[in-house]
Structure formats: C-alpha cells, structure tokens
Structure 1
Amino acid sequence: MAVQSKPVQKLTPFGAALAGALGGCFSTAVVYPLDVAKTRIQALPADARGKGKEQLSMFPVLLKILKKEGISGLYRGFGATMLNTFSMQYAYFFFYSFVRSSYINRITRKLPPGSEIPALSTAAELLLGAVAGALAQIFTIPVSVIATRQQVGKTQKSKTTEPVETSPDSGESSDEENDDSFLGVAREIIEEEGVTGLWLGIKPGLVLTVNPAITYGAFERIKSVLLAAKNAGSNSKLSPWTSFVIGALSKTAATVVTYPYIMAKVRIQARTADTEDAAEHHWKKPHAHEYHHNKHKHVGALDILARVWKHEGPLGWYQGMQAQITKAVLSQALLFMSKEQFEHWALAIMVLWARISHRS
C-alpha cells in the first residue's frame, strides 16, 4: 500500500480534478432524489409556500413526486445533473489543486531547504477556494441552469414562462413545450432569453463560491488539527468515517451561512422570481412590444431576498434549508469519505491512458 500512496499524493491537477469529479458524480447519484425534492421546494412560488408544511418538507415532496410522476420523476434531469456535477467538480478540483499547489510552491521557495511546509491559514484556504469556485462557475453554470429547469419539471416551468399567443390551428407550441430533453430545454432557454439566459444566476453563483471555500477550508483546518493532535504528518490520511463526519460538519456550516443565496439562485434559474414579480405588478402589465423589450430583465438575488424578508420575515430565507442540508451534507460527506479511493482510481485511469497513448 505504501507504494500506491506516493503517486496518489503526487497527482497532477488533472488527476486531482478527475478524482474529485468521479467522487462528486458518485455522491450526487446516491442522493439524487433528494436533490430533485430540494430544488422543487426552493423553486416554489410564494402562494404555494403558504399552503402547508408538506410543501416544504422533503419526504412529503418525494412521495408526491413518486405518486404523480413515478420513479422517473425522482430522476428528472439526471443526465444534465451528472454532466453538471462532473464538469463543476472537475473544474473546481482542477482550479483548486492548481491554485493551491502554485501558492504552496511560492511559499516553499521562500523557506530554508528541508524545512516543513506550514499549514495554510483559514483565510488563505477560503481565498484559494473562492478563486477556484469562481473560475469553475463561469465555465459550468449553463449546464446548471438546464438541470434546474429539468428538475423543476413541466408544471413549474410552464408557470414561470410568459404565455405566448399561438394560433389555434398550430400544434407546434405544445410539441415544443413537451420537449424536456437536455437540448430541448437549452433551445427553449435560448429562444426565450437569448444565449445569456444560459448564465442566469451567475451573480449569486459567484457569491456562492464561498460555499465550497468554507467547506474545504473548514475540512482542511479540522483535518490539520486532528493530525497535529495525533502527532501525525501533514501527508497522513484520515479514516473514512472521520472524513465522513468532518465533511458533514464542514458542509453544514457552509450551507447555513450561504443558504439564502442558494435559494435565490434556484428561483432565478427556475424563473419563479420573475413570476412573483409579475404577480406583484399585475396592475401595470406591459404590452406585447414592451414585454419583448424587457423580457431579458430578471429579478436579482438581493431583490428576491428583500421580497422574502418583507412577506415572510427572516425565517423565509431558510425555508427548505432542511432539504438542502440533508442532500448537501450526505453528498459532501460521501465525497470526502470516498475521495482517497477515487484518487487511486483516477491514478489507474491516467496510467492506463498513458499506456494506450504510448502504444498508439
């Protein structure tokens, strides 16, 4: 085992990114039905959120989806979400590994030869994580927008789009509305919003880069404290169970801090916020030409938070947080627990690819 551990520690940024992406897909796939439920809870419009606790509780929502849509409803948008998870995790781990190793190399050059590398400060870990998260968001958010629309489903989606006048003799509109495939949703978004519609929620998304930054920063900090208490070296490994517990605690802290923006981002991408804004200002509905001119304007995250505070109070910012924490904590803890194993698999894939490339 000692022979295997050395190359794992020397994984390139590409290798670390592959390991993180594989682990992210595995952990997300395990808890995917919970992801669908939490997205629908977060995307609920204000009138639906006031109809009872069953609308905001994960298991009643899961049962409702299962009853109305069957097993397939619990896996709506699975392909897009897996693509989003792989690309997001790959991009994040690649940028995080690259930025962190570059920063550590810069520190190492200033140290006397043979001296031990000091542990990074919490502020440094958060900053490096935020930079990596921001770069990953910019490249991967279009897939996230499509996945969110698919998870919300046809019913919610139809409520969040402006009605379009069609000829009674034409059946094209209903056919297009029924196209819930990845490309179909992407085409619909581009037709309604333009290409920039694929980047809906980019601003709160950039703010939310502090979420993985807090998660990984807290994980690395707690890990270093535990290893120091055991007089173990910085290259020592935690047990899977310890990694699971630390990962769960780290993700819980990050989710509590950032949840209001998580909720706002989902409502922007699902266009629930636009529906609520139109309902509030129904007395001054725009004419067709005015709507065409303004259709690319969307309610911002701060406007959503202000409206929720006004109508529901501060607790409204955290409606559905139980579902978010349950899904996020389980997924993140599974990722931390299995990360080392996926590093071994990533190394094996890279070695196999190198051999195939060498032979060809």
Structure 2
Amino acid sequence: MTGQSKPALSPWGSAVAGATGAVLANAIVYPLDLVKTKLQVQVKNTSDPTKNEDIVHYKSTLDAINKIVEKEGIEGLYSGITGSLLGVASTNFAYFYWYSVVRSFYMASNRVSKPPGTAMELTLGAVSGAIAQIFTIPVSVITTRQQTQPKGEKKGLIETGKEVIDSEDGWSGLWRGLKASLILVVNPAITYGAYQRLKDGLFAGRNNLKPWEAFLLGAMSKAMATIATQPLIVAKVGLQSRPPPGREGKPFKTFSEVMRYIIQNEGALSLFKGIGPQILKGLLVQGLLMMTKERMELVFIVLFAYLKRLKDRKLHKAVDTAAEKAKASLPATLK
C-alpha cells in the first residue's frame, strides 16, 4: 500500500535479491563489458607504430563491436560470459550481504546519528566492498583473462584458472589486482552512498520506488562513481589481463606501474580509455540492478512470508496430530 514501508529482508534475503538483479542486469549488457575491457587493455606503442601492426586496435566502442563480430561472429561478444556472471553473482551476493549486516549493526547502535550521513554511508559501503573483494576477486581475474584471449586461444573457466596458477605468480595470481580492488571499493561506496543520499533527498519518506525512479537514481549514482575512479579501473584491468606485447611477457606488479606504462606510451588521457562503454554499461547495469533489486526484494518478501505461513501450518498440524494421538492413547475414563 502507498506510504507503507515494506518489511525488512534478512541479510541473506537482501544478498540473494541483489545478486539476482545484478546477474540479470549484467547479462543484458555483457557485450559492453567485453568491449570496455578490450579497450582498456590495449596499449598502442606510439614510438614504434609497426611493432603491433598484427594486433587489432579498436578506435571506439562501435569500432570494437564491428571488428569483434567480423572476426569472431556474434558469439565473440559473449566470450567469457559464464565466468563473468559467476563473478557478478558472487561479488554482489557478498557485497549486499555484508552491506546489510554492517548497516544493521550501525542502525542498531544508540550512539550514532540516523540515518547515516554521506561520509558514513561511504564508509559502510567501503567496508562491505572490501570484505566482498577478498573472497571474489579470483573470478574477476579469470574473467578478465577470458575476455582478452585471442580467438585461437579461447579457454574455459577452469583452463584459464590453471593458466593463471601456472604463471610465475602461482596461486597468488588469482588475487592479482587485490590492492587496486580494495582501493576501488570506493566505487560501489560512492555509488550506493550517492544512491542513498539522492533517494533520501528526492524521495524522502518513501521506501518503495517506482521502477523508473530506481533506474534513474542508480544510473546517476553509478556515473558519478565511474568518472571518479576510471584511472584505477583501467589499471586494475591491466593488472589482471595478459601483459601487452611491449612488455615481452613480463606482467605488471602494481597498479601504479600500469598507470606509468600507459602514460609513457599513450599519454595521461589514456587513463580514461574505455570510459564511454564503461559509463554506458554502468548506467544500464546500475539502473537495471536497482530497479530489479527493488522488485526482487518484494518478490522475496512475499516468498518468505508464504514459506513462513506454510511452515506454521505444518507445525500446527503436527501439534494437532500429536494431541489427537495422545488423547486416543488415554484410558477411556480419562477422556
């Protein structure tokens, strides 16, 4: 009903709703995710243009899509989608679960201001994101490798994981870019912090947003976060992918090393390469995610309420049955 708050979901329920919405949203826009990764890892050696002449260079999002389809077919736009969606599901499940837990602890305290201010929203989001990244970054590393594999070297999720482990980094290679990822927790922190503040400012007193309202707020908040963190996003992708030809197989060790290499070869503005599809993907995914998550939360609330009623009915039936059996076993004089 209008004006009434929906029941609160448990951390587990919030995590499932968030992960489900994230998977659906990312599946829809996956080609953009693939293209932005390819744009971010390519490094054109301006000092020796002929050195990388056999390597396909993408000029824009549309150019990348056309060249990928021309060379690999439509299926090329969905290379690595299984690992990507697995990563999306695990990352968002972990994030929403820990965000719900951390925020619940905060709200339960009598010593803090409520609702949380912008700085506190960012802090809660950052803590939740850091915890989630530690557990889920291996899938991100494998997915990035899959997305940047040449056509003739396409490998599955397990094979790509073995390739990473068999490299000079060993098992630790599955956590390449962890430091950059931990720094990048400010991205979802900015996103969800901005979303919460925009929601409180524009729709104060309302808990249930219309789909288009949730989409608009999600898109706006994600755009702000992406512009602020794009250089780190590019550096993280560079860390997790295969080293560029100019490195002769030598992987990057830190995200600052990736950034220096990009600046030396392409200039400082190249730290923002791929920002077009990155923002477009972010706008669509975040908008769809928030819109879907709002709907999924309502679905899970109804589902959990139904399961609870079903459980209560079974419990009452079991109690009544036990009572009838007990009564039947009594002597006739006591009935």
TM-score with structure 2 setting the length: 0.83
SS in 1 for 2:79: coil
Task: Give the paired residue count.
Answer: 308
Question: Given residue 203 of structure 2, which amino acid in structure 1 is its aligned partner?
Answer: L
2 CA distance for matches of 1:211 and 1:346? 27
Any residues of structure 2 matched to 1:1-360 within 5 Å, and which? 1=1, 8-47=6-45, 55-106=58-109, 109-110=110-111, 118-154=114-150, 180-192=155-167, 193-228=169-204, 233=205, 235-272=206-243, 275-278=245-248, 298-348=252-302, 350=304
Provide, for residues 3-52 of structure 1, a one-character-per-residue CA deviation record: whole Å limited to 9, x for no partner: 9x76x53100101000000000010001011111111111113339978x
- Distance in 2 between the 1:189 and 1:27 partners? 28
SS at match of 2:45: helix
CA contact (8 A) 1:45 1:272 kept: no
Structure 1 pair 70/118, CA: closer, same or farther in 2 (3 Å)?
same
Q: Does the 8 Å contact 1:259/1:318 carry over to 2?
A: yes
Specify the SS of the correspondent of 1:46: coil
2:246, 2:131 → 1: CA distance? 31
Given that 1:46 and 1:276 are in contact with CA atoms closer than 8 Å, whether structure 2 keeps it comes out as no
Aligned-partner residue type, residue 215 of structure 2:
F
Shift of 1:352: 6.8
Question: 1:356 offset after TM fit, Å?
Answer: 9.0
Q: In structure 2, give the amino acid aligned to 1:252.
A: A
Shift of 1:351: 5.4
How far apart in 1 are the matches of 2:210 and 2:46? Answer: 44
Output the CA distance in 1 between the equivalents of 2:265 and 2:163. 32
How far is 1:187 from its partner? 1.1
Could you tell me how far apart the structure 2 residues matched to 1:211 and 1:276 are? 30
Q: Distance in 1 between matches of 2:132 and 2:59?
A: 30
SS in 1 for 2:149: helix
Return the offset for 1:353.
6.8
CA spacing shift, 1:355–1:68, aligned 2, 3 Å = farther
Shift of 1:101: 1.0
In 2: Cα distance, 1:13 partner to 1:71 partner: 39
Kindly name which structure, 1 or 2, has the bigger radius of gyration based on alpha carbons: 2
What do you get for the CA RMSD once the two structures are aligned?
2.9
* Cα separation, 1, equivalents of 2:90 and 2:303: 18
- Conservation of the 8 A alpha-carbon contact between 2:41 and 2:241: yes
- Residues 77, 150 of structure 1: 8 Å contact kept: yes
Q: Note if contact 1:219-1:247 (Cα within 8 Å) is conserved in structure 2.
A: yes
Deviation at 1:315, TM superposition (A): 0.9
Report the counterpart of residue 324 of structure 2 in structure 1.
none
Using the alignment, how far apart are the partners of 1:9 and 1:245 within structure 2? 24
3-state SS of the aligned residue for 1:223? Answer: helix
CA distance in 2, matches of 1:184, 1:356: 45
- Deviation at 1:118? 2.8
Give SS of 1:119's match.
coil
In 1, Cα distance between equivalents of 2:221 and 2:191: 5
Q: Which runs of 5+ in 2 are unaligned?
A: 315-335
Provide the C-alpha distance between the structure 2 equivalents of 1:25 and 1:238, rounded to a whole number of angstroms.
21
The aligned counterpart of 1:284 is none
Q: Is the 8 A contact 2:164 2:170 kept in 1?
A: yes
Quick check: 2:7–2:301 contact (8 Å CA) kept in 1? no
| 1:96–1:129 Cα contact (<8 Å) kept | yes
Structure 1 residue 71 displacement after superposition: 1.9
With over 3 angstroms needed to count, the CA separation of the structure-2 counterparts of 1:70 and 1:100, relative to structure 1, is same
Contact preservation (8 Å) 1:129, 1:212: yes
- Structure 1 pair 14/208, CA: closer, same or farther in 2 (3 Å)? same
Distance 1:205 1:43 in 2: 16
Preserved CA contact (<8 Å) 2:177 2:236? yes
* TM-score, with structure 1 as normaliser: 0.78
